[in-house]
Structure 1
Amino acid sequence: MTFLAGRLNFLGRGLTFWGQWLVAVSSMITLLCVLALIETGEIGLHYRMLALIVLFGSVPVYSLMRVYHKKHGYLVGLCRLLAGWLILLGGLTVAVVVTKTGEHFSHEVALAWGMFGFALQAGTYLPLHTFARRYDRKHQAERTALIIGTGEQAWNLADKLVENKYGPVVGLVAAGEEQLPDSSRYPVIGDLSNLRDLIVTHHISRLYIALPLTAAKKIEELYFELLDANTDVVWLPDLHSIMPLNHSVGDIEGMPAIHLNKCPLSAYPSAALSKALMDRAVALLALIAISPVLLATVIAVKCSSPGPVLFKQDRHGWNGTIIKVWKFRSMRLHDDPRVTQARRDDPRITRVGRFIRRTSIDELPQLFNVLLGQMSLVGPRPHAVAHNDYYTGKIAAYMARHRIKPGMTGLAQINGCRGETQTIDKMQKRVELDLAYINNWSLWLDIKILFQTPFALFSRDIY
């Protein structure tokens, strides 16, 4: 029975991505072939090669965009589907331009396929996504849970299980550790002495062990005691005290391994490549589009005060390497060996400088840093080397911000952490958001941050 349930669970997870992907890619290729047949009377070699590229190219694009994730609502899912489709079309366009094979394809077929291809995918997405979500809800509703532990880790776990609809939480089991105040939502229904009776009485299908690392001996005893219990046992070690970076669980030749400090973009080369391609493509298009603004700013800065147009400052980049970050000069020339942060009504800032800082135009030359591969469009903002030297050791995991490329904007910036950081607490908040970005990175998150950045420019903390 347990084996059958496991197989059904596997099939349900498979339907979430592979089932929906198979239907989508089949519809895309079928549409392409029909359009080519109508337009040219045959499905030529180049169209067949294009179909093959779509078959294999859609897998990394759609998986990176998490198009078919079961937790997405319909609107978010359709937006991700559209983003994935546009990225796929963009990649195909670049491939056609590079190989100079555009004359082999009909413009009418390409245009119709681009428009109706998404409509067809959206039409199949809605019913399949509905079915996958209903299956998942039904499966989760049947999985009653019991948590061993009454500390903060146990309460946090119970909240997450309920919020994300992982099934009903029957209650908590005391294991001798310090208890938090009782709650009517998660009552303490027993202790380890009657654990077996609780599992049978409440028909527990999943048992979570949420004990601190100091209880390792007790966790080992529970493992052997529950080997023959007809329930799944999941151990969630409490790692919050050591601030793991993008932690994950895997194995090394069959030996379980918890990755405490894993750089996502170096661990997954395809993800790093996708981010780099998007960064440089958008940076190049942006530089072309805003070239009049750049030219006007060059003239304004040159006329505002003596000195160079660009200000280049040493900052820490990826893995702590020193890079020269470009900005339009917004201050009068001065000597500042301490690299003092700009503050409100700073007398060093020129009139032109105040405007370009307020509108963030002074940051636009960093698009060249992105083109050079030194920076990303989205990532933790690079701080001056002197500031990093000051905060290192004062804030836990401060330099972990540099495990990925610094960005022109980031999660911290769209959440109001901009401008001068007068206190350690303000910098701590910025670091926490930077680490949250690293832990939850995806192309979709980058796109959302880019769209929200213009609204963050109205912050009063920019000066």
Structure 2
Amino acid sequence: MTSQYTSRATHRKGLTFWSQWACGMALANLVLIMLVWDQVGTVASEYRVAMILTVLGSVPAYSFLQVYHKRHGILSGMGRLLAGWMSLLGALIAIAFLTQTTAVFSRQVIMLWVGLGYLAQVASFLPLHYLARMHSRKVRNERRSVIIGISPMADALAKKLTTPNRVPVIGFIAASGENGLVPTTLPLLGNVDELRDIIVREEVRRVYIALPLAQLATIEGLYIDLLDMSVDVVWIPDFGSMMLLNQSISEIERMPAIYLNESPISSHPAALLGKELMERTLAALAIVALSPLLIGAAIAVKLSSPGPVLFKQNRHGCNGEVIKVWKFRSMRVHDDSEVRQATRTDDRITRVGAFLRRSSIDELPQLFNVLFGEMALVGPRPHAVTHNLYYTGKVEAYMARHRLKPGITGLAQITGHRGETETLEKMQQRVAQDLNYINQWSLWLDIKILVKTPFTLFSKNIY
């Protein structure tokens, strides 16, 4: 479900596309009918099939190339139309070759149709594109707007709205308590006490309210005050003071809903299933391919100092569930109840362990955690439970990083936020990268992180 605003914008774009597309396809197919009729006196079934495929194939081809988008100029639009038309005909020719039906079509008809079909579409494109742009310009000019609020968020809104072919915003109006601020992008027209006079004087037709949630009473008062004026009122919530996680705007049975911290597990269940299948498969393949290295590292650890080969530590997994994360033991056996991160000169680290940590080989047993479904290849790195208890409450939104399965590598690791975090500020920066990963998560982002990870393995911050 999309928001009402998005639905309206999509609806307007859809009308522009479908109206121009329908006219263009109708004329292109009419040209084919006339050519075939002139050649053979009847429209055979193979040409009727070709017309159906042309109509069906033109939708994705023209949509992808944005052939009828009003922001494109005449020449750009004609170029995109030509690219879409040639792509479509190329696909039709490929289908004819694969089905071995090229011989049933007249080459003369097809050659003429390539050129005349395009010209017929241009003949409908030019006037309709002109009318669409003229109507858009008329509507845009009638939608003179102001923004109530002069915060950084209001300033950013103005920059987005004043891009070419968007809304003509004429200036800002300061709300109560904002008189000391100065906007940078547009002039300050006055304050809210003068709002009604400014609307009448400047012929304003739309008012954007960009105020923080703390001024909710002011927002409601402005809305009530503007009900009897011929203006559209648009509220842009300012969540600048809130740490949002995977935020989105939607509707629940026509009721607006703002998701402040929806988990990717609930918002992208199908994509996450694909992520898990991909990562478990890659983990299994990596275990087989790296088995000689795993065996060699295990022997080296066993010979380096007394104790187990594997170090299994309780760490928080997805949604805070405690899991046992596997690593090659890189330290001498010690009491792990103390909150103490490894440092560059840590006397607990063995000589073999130092090499394993620098090369990140100590992390390879976590491939089994991935195979068992407890971890992911890519995700926020899991910290020891004792470390989580220490940082919770000291670092903002610290435990929010556990809305996804923890990973062997992650966005924080490839952006230089790995190793010791001796200050709360450094930990906050790492958490910020983890939250950025959750907010931007996609399979493509996972692939990019996996590709970049090998180049960070010998970072000077690893020890």
TM range (shorter): 0.5 to 0.7
Q: Per-residue displacement from partner, 1:116-149 (whole Å, max 9, x unpaired)?
A: xxxxxxxxxxxxxxxxxxx99x979957653210
Q: How far apart, CA to CA, are the structure 2 residues paired with 1:164 and 1:325? A: 52
Identity percentage of aligned residues = 57
1:406 and 2:406 are equivalent in the alignment = yes
For residue 240 of structure 1, give the secondary structure of its aligned residue in structure 2.
Answer: coil
For residue 323 of structure 1, give the secondary structure of its aligned residue in structure 2.
Answer: strand
For structure 2, the residue ranges without an aligned partner over 5 or more in a row are 1-5, 18-56, 70-97, 99-131
1:247 and 2:244 are equivalent in the alignment = no
1:34-49 → structure 2 map (5 Å cutoff): none
| Structure 1 residues 195 and 420: alpha-carbon distance in aligned structure 2, compared to 1, 3 A threshold | same
1:306 is displaced (CA, Å) by 2.5
1:314 is displaced (CA, Å) by 0.4
1:51-130 → structure 2 map (5 Å cutoff): none
1:284 is displaced (CA, Å) by 2.0
Partner of 2:13: 12
Partner of 1:449: 449
How many aligned residue pairs are there?
Answer: 349
1:246-325 → structure 2 map (5 Å cutoff): 246-325=246-325
| Structure 1 residues 7 and 262: alpha-carbon distance in aligned structure 2, compared to 1, 3 A threshold | closer
Q: How far apart, CA to CA, are the structure 2 residues paired with 1:321 and 1:397? A: 17
For residue 313 of structure 2, give the secondary structure of its aligned residue in structure 1.
Answer: strand
Do the aligned partners of 1:316 and 1:402 also contact (CA within 8 Å) in 2?
Answer: yes
| Structure 1 residues 206 and 324: alpha-carbon distance in aligned structure 2, compared to 1, 3 A threshold | farther
1:369 is displaced (CA, Å) by 0.7
For residue 211 of structure 1, give the secondary structure of its aligned residue in structure 2.
Answer: coil
Partner of 2:40: none
Partner amino acid, structure 2, of 1:307? G
1:402 is displaced (CA, Å) by 1.0
Q: How far apart, CA to CA, are the structure 2 residues paired with 1:326 and 1:207? A: 57
Q: How far apart, CA to CA, are the structure 2 residues paired with 1:331 and 1:229? A: 72
1:341 is displaced (CA, Å) by 1.1
Partner of 2:213: 213
Tell me which moved more, 450-459 or 304-313: 450-459
Partner of 1:388: 388
1:199 is displaced (CA, Å) by 5.3
For residue 327 of structure 1, give the secondary structure of its aligned residue in structure 2.
Answer: strand
Partner amino acid, structure 2, of 1:190? G
TM-score computed with the length of structure 1 as normaliser: 0.66
1:408 is displaced (CA, Å) by 1.1
Q: Per-residue displacement from partner, 1:240-266 (whole Å, max 9, x unpaired)?
A: 334232222223333322222311212
1:376 and 2:394 are equivalent in the alignment = no
Q: How far apart, CA to CA, are the structure 2 residues paired with 1:239 and 1:6? A: 22
Q: Per-residue displacement from partner, 1:259-297 (whole Å, max 9, x unpaired)?
A: 223112123321221221222122222223322322222
1:146 and 2:146 are equivalent in the alignment = yes
Q: Per-residue displacement from partner, 1:346-389 (whole Å, max 9, x unpaired)?
A: 12212221111111111111111111111111111110000011
Over aligned residue pairs, what C-alpha RMSD do you find? 3.7
| Structure 1 residues 190 and 357: alpha-carbon distance in aligned structure 2, compared to 1, 3 A threshold | same
| Structure 1 residues 166 and 386: alpha-carbon distance in aligned structure 2, compared to 1, 3 A threshold | farther
Q: Per-residue displacement from partner, 1:52-88 (whole Å, max 9, x unpaired)?
A: xxx9xxx9xxxxxx999x9xxxxxxxxxxxxxxxxxx
Q: How far apart, CA to CA, are the structure 1 residues paired with 2:229 and 2:440? A: 35
1:393 is displaced (CA, Å) by 1.4
Do the aligned partners of 2:330 and 2:350 also contact (CA within 8 Å) in 1?
Answer: yes
Q: Per-residue displacement from partner, 1:164-215 (whole Å, max 9, x unpaired)?
A: 9965653311122324642442321233345456557767675321112232
Q: How far apart, CA to CA, are the structure 2 residues paired with 1:221 and 1:274? A: 48
TM-score computed with the length of structure 2 as normaliser: 0.66
Q: How far apart, CA to CA, are the structure 1 residues paired with 2:278 and 2:256? A: 35
For structure 1, the residue ranges without an aligned partner over 5 or more in a row are 17-54, 60-65, 71-108, 110-134
Tell me which moved more, 146-155 or 411-420: 146-155
Tell me which moved more, 282-291 or 345-354: 282-291
1:162 is displaced (CA, Å) by 6.1
| Structure 1 residues 204 and 344: alpha-carbon distance in aligned structure 2, compared to 1, 3 A threshold | farther
1:308 is displaced (CA, Å) by 1.8
